[in-house]
Every structure is written in C-alpha cells, then in structure tokens.
Structure 1
Amino acid sequence: MTDELELLRGADPVSAETGPWRDRPLDARAELLLRRLGLQRRRRTVRFRLLAVEGVAAAAVLALALTVSDGGSTPAVAAPRPLVAHTSRADVPLAEIARRARAAAEAAEGRSVRGSHVQRWSMAMESGKDARPPVTAPVESVTTWNADGSGTLLEVATDPRYPGRPVIDDTTPPRTVHDGKVLHREHYPKGTYGANEDYFEAPPAGVAALRSYLAAWLPGADEDPVSLLSAVESFRSVWTPGPRQIADIATLLSRVEGMRPAGRVTDRLGREGQGFRMPGVNGGRYLVILDPDDGRLLDIELTTTRADPEYRLKAGAVMSYTAWRD
C-alpha cells in the first residue's frame, strides 16, 4: 500500500504550495505515474521473478569469468584498459552532433522499436587475502517483439578472452553462435508488449517530453546528470530509438552540465565514434560515445579514478561498459 500511496502523491499535479486545490489537467509526468499505478501490483510480482533471474545470471557470469582460463588458475582476462580517445581538428562538438541528429530526424522516417541488442561488460571482484584479480564478465542480450505483442529474450555469457566478439545472431528468433553460454531464454505470449518491463510505454517526441518520460521511471533524471545518463542507458536497453528519439537523446546529452569533449575513439566493437567525458559519483567517470553523423548513442563506459586495495582494484579500471549493436 505504501508504494501505491507514494505513486499517487508523486502523480499529484498540484503541490501543497500552489494554493487552494482545484481541478486542472494532468501533465505528462503525472499521467505516466498514474498509468504505472494500475500495473504496480502485477509488475511487483514479475519484478521479484526478474530480480531472481538476474541474480542467477550474474552468478553464472561470475562463475564463467572466473573459471575460463589459459590452463591455470589465473583468470583469463583481467579488467580491460579504458578506451583511449584522441583529440584532433576533426572532432565534432556535442552541440553539432545534436544539430546533425535533428537534421537527420527531419529527413528520415521511422519510429522507436521495442527491443534491443546489447553487449555489456561488468566488473567481477573478490575481497580478502586470497582474492583473485578483477575480471570482466561480458553478457550479450537480444530482446525482440512482434506485432501481436509476443516476444523473445536471449541472454548469453561470452568468453572473457574475446570481449568484443558477438555471440548472438540477429535472426528471428535469435540464436546462439560461437561458444556463448545461454544464461536465460524466454518467450513472451501474445499481447505482452513488454508490459512487464520498465519504459513499457512508447517514448514521446520532444526533448522536454522525453526528459519527463525518463524521470517518471527514474526520479531525478530531470535534474541530476548521472541519473539522466542512467535513465538513458536503461531506456536504450528496452527500446531501439527512431530518428526523432535519437535526436532528442543527443540534444538532452548536449545540455548536460559537466559533459566535456574527449576526442575520437574506436569502441570495443570496432566502431568509430566521438567521445565525451562526464564525472560520476564516488570517483566514477563516464565516457559517452556517440555516432558523430547521426547522433546515435553507441557506448557508455564507466571507469573508477580511485584505487581500492581490498578488491585489488586499480585507479582507471573499467567498472562497466555497455554497447548497443543496433
């Protein structure tokens, strides 16, 4: 009951400071919150199940990363080095990338599609005297949805020795290739339409509307740069944005305080992009990589600027990395 009350309070379009209560239309954020309320009880049960699955997947990835070796007990791959960006006269400012994205959106048709193809690398660490060095645990996932609302999810753990090699083929339904280890596979029945996911509603058009949409799912995304970046990353894991939403995301990022140019960079999938750095929390630092021509978000890398001897973590280590293959 507490959750529902909090959602109702958050959806109230009239604050206590606005004077006597009176009827008025709900704004976009309030409408999103109220629609979420109707699904809150059903989604809570599903989220518990999904969290359990995620926990099993994380354990499997950690086990795979720690057991795949070159013939001994040493992990196959330690934490990868951060990507290196190179500044040059050919660098494209973020504001210009956003302008190009808006121009591309005006010239192109298409809308956002529910589903995504994502590769993630996350740090697996152990503490204690006998702890092994940190290793990278890569996972690739493909989520697809059909016109009738049915869909499929495939999550595969990859060999840490080849963190950039794709292990899922974009067929329908997607299938495993190479030596990927399936962590989770699910088929959704007709009419599901991703209703059990966050961001289950189609994203709106317009920068302000998209910011409110993101903040409805992650409070603070309309004010805090780190929360905004986290919300964009989560949204991109559910949706493949169309030209308009690509432009809106690029414009949102161009307005983020603290986003600084880093230079050209080749990502872990071999793609050329324009990098921008942003400070995170607790010593973290982000590298955001965009396609300089159309503004597509390609990658987000999070590194740490602080060493942690307990976990044998060195300053500059890659804590996580997300690459979108669509």
Structure 2
Amino acid sequence: MTDELDLLRGANPVSADTGPWRDRPLDARAEQLLRRLPSRDRRRRTVRRTAWSVATAAAATVVALALTVSDSGSSPAVAAPRPLVAHVSRTDVPLAEIVRRARAAAGSSTEKSERGSHVQTWALAMESGKDAVTLPVESLTRWNADGSGSLLEVATDPRHPGRPVIADGTPPHAVHDGEVLRKATYPPGIHGANEDYFEDPPAGAAALREYLAVWSPGADRDATELISAVESFLTVWTPGPRQRADIVTLLSRIEGLRPAGKVTDRVGREGQAFQYTHSGSRHLIVLDPDDGRVLDVEETATRDDPEYWVKAGDVLSYRAWMS
C-alpha cells in the first residue's frame, strides 16, 4: 500500500490550493496525472518484458510447445531470433536527409494519423535461472470515430518467421499458419481497450515529446525512455506524415544515435538502420529512408547476464510495424 500512496502523493491530482473539490470532477490535468500512475508503476520493473499480457504469453508458449512436439522430425520450432545485420554502404541515407524527406512528405499531405496498428512483436521471456523464449505475436487493432473497434492477436508459426499471419479487412482475419490468441470487439465509447494515448497526437516535435511523456514519464529527458515511448505509441497509433516527421525529428535529436547501415528486416523490407547503446543493451531503429516511417525497433544485449541466461548479442525484443 505504501507504494500506491507514494504514487498518489507524487501525482497530486488535486492540490491543496485548487479550492473545494469533494463533489467536483477532476480537470484534464488531474485526469492525465492519474493516467500516468500505472505506467509509472510499470517502469519500476528491473527487467524489460513483452508488451502483451501474461495470459497471451502463456498461450503463445503452449502453441510453441505444440509446434515443437508436432515437428519432432526437424529442428526445434522455437528459437530466439538472430539479430538484424546492417551493412554500411556508399548509398546510405543520413538521418538528417531522412528528416528532410519526412518533413517534405508531411508538407504536401493531408493524411492524418489513424488510431490502431498492425505490428509483429517478440520478446525474450526472461526468468531467473531459466532459458525461455516466446513466439512472435502479430496483432491488428482498428478503431472507429465512435470509439468502437476490434483486436486480433495471432501467434505466428516460428517455422515461417516474419511471414504475416493477419490479413487486414472487414473484419481482419488470420491467414497462413497461426494460432489465434485473442479476438475482441469493442462497442462505441471511449476507446476502452486503450489505456494510453487516448487523445489525438499533437503537431510539432516538441509538443509530441510532451504528449509521449504524459504516459511515459522520462520520455521528455531520457533517450531510452523516448525510444520506449515511441514504440508504445506506435502500438496504439499509425502515424500520418506529420507525426512521422515529428517522430523522426525527435529520434534525430538523440545524442549517441549512430548510423548502422542498410538492413533487410524480418518482413523483407529494406530500411536504413540507426543504433543507440545504453546500459547493457542496444536499440536498432530501422527507418524507411523515403518518408521516415519507423519499420522496426530491435533491442539486443551488449553484455552477458548469467542470472537470466542472456549473452551479449542476444535479441531481447523486437517490433516490426506492418502498416
């Protein structure tokens, strides 16, 4: 209980000088402060874990075991992915040029950001003293103007890594080899399935960083938190050209973000990669060089961690955005 009280006192959604408040609804600032509490508590974790729920991870593990047993005549179906390998070349596009292209595309487009995303994720399920991996999960969320929406999560078949297993449509449906982990529809309302980023993103890089920091405290001052916030934001929103330009502008301002070269991602797309190393891990951010779209973010370990059976070079997590 002490931790919860400390969080409430720190947020101070209704300060002593705001006047009578007993029967009055909270204002917008107070609502935002209260919404920050769950994310602030989550970031006290010492180990990064996948964004999907424990139940989803457990279901994926069951599917993984089934695939391994059913395919006993070949190599194990479940294996940690190899890190993406970037190659430096003379045709590499500098980050400053990608920012320029993204801004140019934003200036000539009226396309807006859309609530919802199509993403494939994977994360090492780290547990002390155990060597465990989980299956990639592909998810597609779609939201309508009235707040109604749908969610489809499918565990991909590790025998065909990277192959999309969800076809977008009305309604979206699973294709190829894949086990449906979760399927849900939401009635009109206030986007109840989205705990974070429920407001439309603002225009401008500085305003976007402040917006991200509401749900990801530290994103306005820490590079690692900013990268994590961008990942989380992209699981809720598919940004339009203006937000894409703002995101790549924010990334370009990260001190220590270095060019890594060209790379072909797990979905077969060619992108321009940039890496940021900090506190025992490396983030590889893959961008579309033409419009600044974030294609992938991969995190790998840069040093051994015997407690979690992690070695330097192991992939800790990745996300590949399909739209």
TM-score exceeds 0.5: yes
Q: Partners of 1:306 and 1:161 in 2: how far apart?
A: 29
TM superposition shift of 1:115 = 0.4
TM-score by length of 2: 0.83
- What stretches of structure 2 of length at least 5 have no aligned partner? 19-26, 40-49
After superposition, where does 1:270-309 map in structure 2 within 5 Å?
270-281=268-279, 283-309=280-306
Partner residue of 2:141 out of 143, 151, 172: 143
TM superposition shift of 1:77 = 3.5
String of CA shifts for 1:179-215, please: whole Å, max 9, x gaps: 2111111111112335742000000000110010001
Q: Any conservation in 2 of the 1:75–1:135 contact (CA below 8 Å)?
A: no
Report the RMSD for the aligned CA atoms in angstroms: 2.8
Q: Any conservation in 2 of the 1:140–1:157 contact (CA below 8 Å)?
A: yes
Q: Could you say what secondary structure the match of 2:64 adopts?
A: helix
- What stretches of structure 1 of length at least 5 have no aligned partner? 13-20, 23-30, 44-50
Map of 2:67 onto structure 1: 68
Q: Partners of 2:73 and 2:182 in 1: how far apart?
A: 28
Map of 2:32 onto structure 1: 36
TM superposition shift of 1:303 = 0.6
| Number of residue pairs matched by the alignment | 297
Q: Could you say what secondary structure the match of 1:96 adopts?
A: helix
2:10 aligned with 1:6, yes or no?
yes
2:248 aligned partner, one-letter code: A
Indicate the percent of aligned positions where both proteins have the same amino acid. Answer: 62
String of CA shifts for 1:81-120, please: whole Å, max 9, x gaps: 1111111111111111111101110011111110000100
1:36 aligned partner, one-letter code: Q
Q: Partners of 2:34 and 2:308 in 1: how far apart?
A: 43
2:257 aligned partner, one-letter code: M
TM-score by length of 1: 0.83
- From the superposition, tell whether residues 317 and 40 of structure 1 become closer, same or farther in structure 2 (CA, over 3 Å): closer
Q: Could you say what secondary structure the match of 1:306 adopts?
A: coil
2:256 aligned partner, one-letter code: G
Q: Partners of 2:30 and 2:10 in 1: how far apart?
A: 11
2:201 aligned partner, one-letter code: P
Q: Could you say what secondary structure the match of 1:143 adopts?
A: strand
Map of 2:314 onto structure 1: 317
Extract structure 1 runs of 4+ deviating beyond 6 A.
38-41
Q: Partners of 2:171 and 2:59 in 1: how far apart?
A: 23
Q: Partners of 2:284 and 2:59 in 1: how far apart?
A: 28
Map of 1:27 onto structure 2: none
TM superposition shift of 1:32 = 6.1
String of CA shifts for 1:37-93, please: whole Å, max 9, x gaps: 57789x9xxxxxxx9x81111111123234422306973132121111111111111
Of the structure 1 ranges 223-232 and 62-71, higher mean CA displacement relative to structure 2 is found in 62-71
TM superposition shift of 1:173 = 1.7
- From the superposition, tell whether residues 252 and 181 of structure 1 become closer, same or farther in structure 2 (CA, over 3 Å): same
Map of 1:57 onto structure 2: 56
